[in-house]
Amino acid sequence: MHALSHGSTSTPTTIAVPPALSLPVIEAAFPRQLHPYWPKLQRETRAWLLEKRLMTPEKVESYADGLCYTDLMAGFYIGAPDEVLQAIADYSAWFFVWDDRHDRDIVHGRPVAWRRLKDLLHSALDRPGDHLGHQDPVVAGLADSVRRLYAFLPDTWNARFARHFHAVIEAYDREFHNRTEGIVPTVEEYLELRRLTFAHWIWTDLLEPSAGYELPDAVRKNPAYRKPALLSQEFAAWYNDLCSLPKEIAGNEVHNLGISLVTHEGMTLEEAIADMRHRVEECISEFLDAEQEALRFADRLDDGTVGGKETGAAVRVCVANMRNWFSSVYWFHHESGRYRVDSWDDRSTPPYVNNATEGEK
C-alpha cells in the first residue's frame, strides 16, 4: 500500500508499506501531523549528537537524517513549545543511541562495561549536573537531556520521570541477562518487561511538559486517562516488534513478542506474525473507544472553575497527542533506516552503530 508521508524532506513523499505491515485504518483514520518546528529540530538534534559525541561525524552525515528520530517526536508532541520538543527529541535520539550501545555490549560480551554504564545512568538521572562532563558520551548525553527536561515542570514531575526511568534502566539490565543467557521470556513475562523497555510511562509523562501542565495524580491515574495512554504505547511497542522481527531474528535476539510466541506458545513464525498483527489491530479499535471516554472525562473536569478549565484543556491536548502516536510510529517504521535489514551488508550488524569490539572509553 502507498500513502503520502512527510519523511525526512520538506515535501511529502510516497512511501510503500509492505502488505504484511500495512494498517489501512491508520492511514485512513489517523492523519499524520508534523510539528512546524521539525526542520529546525532535525538540524539541532543532528548538531547535538555531534556535540555530545553520541555518533561519529561520519555516521551523523550518513545516517542521522535517514534514521528519522526527530520525525518520530515531531509527529507525536504536537503543540509543544519549541524548546520542550527540542529537549524531548534530543532525549529520544539519546535513547536510541543507548539502546544500540546496550545491544553492542551484549553482542560483544561486555557485562562489566554494561554494569558500569547502568550504575552511571542511575546516578546521572538523579544528579544530572554532576555528570555533564562525563567522559562517556552516553552518560553525559543523558545528563544533558534530562537536565533540560527537568526545567519545564515542578519537582514532583521530575521525581516521577526519574522514578519511571530508573525502572527502565533496570528493565534493560534484565534484558541484558536474558539475552546473554539465551533466555526467551514467556509471553506474559515479555509483555510486562516490554512496557518498561519501551518506556511506556516515560513517553506518557512527556505529554505533560508538551501541554505545559502537570496533571494531578487523580487525573493521571484515572482509568479514563490511563487506558488510552497505555493503548497508544502498547500499539507502538507491538508494532515495533512486528516491524523489527526480521532484524532481531538476524541478530539472534530473544526479546520480541513474536519470538516468545514461537518459543512458548508453539506457533509457527507465520502464526506468530498473525497474532501480533491481531494484537496491534485490537489496540487501535480499543483506543478509538477509550479516546472518546477520555474526552468525556476532560469535559467533566472542566467544571467551570479556573483549575477545572485548565486541567480539562490539558487532558484534551494529551489525548490528542496519544492519537498522534499511532500515525507517527506507523510512518516512522517505514521511513527510518533503522529497520531496513535487507539493505545492510551484515543483517546482524546495523550500519549506524558503533560496532567497536573493545569497551567504549
**All cell numbers assigned to 340:** 531496513
Q: Which candidate in 96, 165, 176, 332 is catalytic?
A: 96
Check if 226 is active-site.
no
Q: Which candidate in 179, 220, 316, 338 is catalytic?
A: 338
Which residues, including other chains, have CB under 8 Å from residue 88's CB and lie 6 or more apart?
73, 77, 80, 149, 206, 209, 210
The full DSSP string for 77-137 is STT--HHHHHHHHHHHHHHHHHHHHHHHHHHTT-HHHHHHHHHHHHHHHH-GGGSTT-SSH
Q: Which candidate in 152, 165, 198, 287 is catalytic?
A: 198
- Residue pair 171/196 in contact by the 8 Å Cβ criterion: yes
Its sign, for the CA torsion 95, 101, 104, 105, is negative
Which residues, including other chains, have CB under 8 Å from residue 57's CB and lie 6 or more apart?
50
The full DSSP string for 269-328 is HHHHHHHHHHHHHHHHHHHHHHHHHHHHHHHHH--SSHHHHHHHHHHHHHHHHHHHHHHH
* 328 vs 59: CA distance, rounded Å: 24
Give, for 228, the enclosing helix (H) or strand (E): helix 223-250
**Residue among 110, 258, 118, 246 nearest 184 (CA):** 258
Q: Which candidate in 30, 46, 76, 95 is catalytic?
A: 95
Check if 198 is active-site.
yes
Check if 95 is active-site.
yes
Largest CA distance in the chain: 62
**Residue among 227, 217, 261 nearest 241 (CA):** 261
Which residues, including other chains, have CB under 8 Å from residue 186's CB and lie 6 or more apart?
260, 264
Give me the active site residues, please.
Answer: 95-96, 198, 338
